[in-house]
Structure 1
């Protein structure tokens, strides 16, 4: 094979690997001792449509633990007082939902990972919800565009006042 052919093959492989995003995602779940009132709970990882995800009820998601459909990629038991690591295969298309089935959810009980997927996500749980600072940004840090500085809106320009007031007729 010629050197040119090797270069083309390497470029094609690189394009395939970089264009697909992460093929495996590491989920690192930190669950302090008081999580879910000290009781084990289920974590459900699914491929979802973001629009459908926004309208899902807790009971609808919870039913997939006992009767998983083709969107369920992984079901795991989360034990309080542990840090657990999971490898999940990234879906070919669509987003990924990570749901925690707390006994009494109070706030965020699931999060959405949208493409392009990052290689690793750290999730920290509390008694009955996901800590908001563990919810990842929409894009990996290196791909986020710097937000332009906000400028206050400009109002209409007022005419400049003269430096000296004009003299009135008949005045001293």
Structure 2
């Protein structure tokens, strides 16, 4: 191997190794409790969209993609309340993925954007009319371990009651 080809081949091997490590598919796990979407099935859309389009699209624009898919639609799927759903989609090159849930009456977050680099797996938990967005609850330390944090105690301010004097009544004079 000549001195000029050596570094080039090493760089090529490193570049190929980096590409090979990035996930090519995304596994989407959806947990849908029985009361989700008022107990009715709903559509989930996975689309390759940039963040600008994601921020400016209306619900109706996304919902139309179920009936009239465009080039951005990677997959559509029906989600049934009370069932866990899993699907695998090919990750598009250099494009974020939007995962949208078409609730009958959305109340809060109804879609999520996965920016690049896209992970190999995402878990989504649904509520009645929205995607659950709160942070996972921290596990409590077993009894006796760790420090117990209590909220600060607040005492009401001490206030002296106002002094109220009764009306002054003059005694009637005897001479009148």
Q: For 2:134, what is the secondary structure of its paired residue?
A: helix
Q: For 1:121, what is the secondary structure of its paired residue?
A: strand
Q: Distance in 2 between matches of 1:121 and 1:12?
A: 26
Larger Rg: 2
Does the 8 A contact of 1:124 with 1:134 survive in 2? no
The 5-angstrom pairing of residues 85-124 of structure 1 reads: 85-124=86-125
| CA-based RMSD | 2.2
Change in CA separation of 1:111 and 1:134 when aligned onto 2, cut-off 3 Å = farther
Q: Tell me which residue corresponds to 1:132.
A: 133
Q: For 1:132, what is the secondary structure of its paired residue?
A: coil
1:62-87 deviation digits (Å, cap 9, x = unpaired): 00000100110000000000111110
Q: Distance in 1 between matches of 2:134 and 2:89?
A: 21
1:102-121 deviation digits (Å, cap 9, x = unpaired): 00000000000000111110
Q: Tell me which residue corresponds to 1:23.
A: 24
Query: How far did residue 12 of structure 1 move?
Result: 4.4
Query: How far did residue 94 of structure 1 move?
Result: 1.6
Q: Tell me which residue corresponds to 2:144.
A: none
1:29-88 deviation digits (Å, cap 9, x = unpaired): 000000000000000000001011101100000000001001100000000001111101
Change in CA separation of 1:72 and 1:100 when aligned onto 2, cut-off 3 Å = same
The 5-angstrom pairing of residues 18-167 of structure 1 reads: 18=21, 21-133=22-134
- Number of residue pairs aligned between Structure 1 and Structure 2: 130
Q: Distance in 2 between matches of 1:90 and 1:10?
A: 23
Structure 2 segments unaligned to the other structure (5+ residues): 137-176
Q: For 2:19, what is the secondary structure of its paired residue?
A: helix
Q: Tell me which residue corresponds to 1:14.
A: 17
Q: Distance in 1 between matches of 2:116 and 2:94?
A: 8
- Following TM superposition, the consecutive aligned residue runs of length 4 or more in structure 1 with deviations greater than 2 angstroms are 7-13
Q: Distance in 2 between matches of 1:22 and 1:39?
A: 33
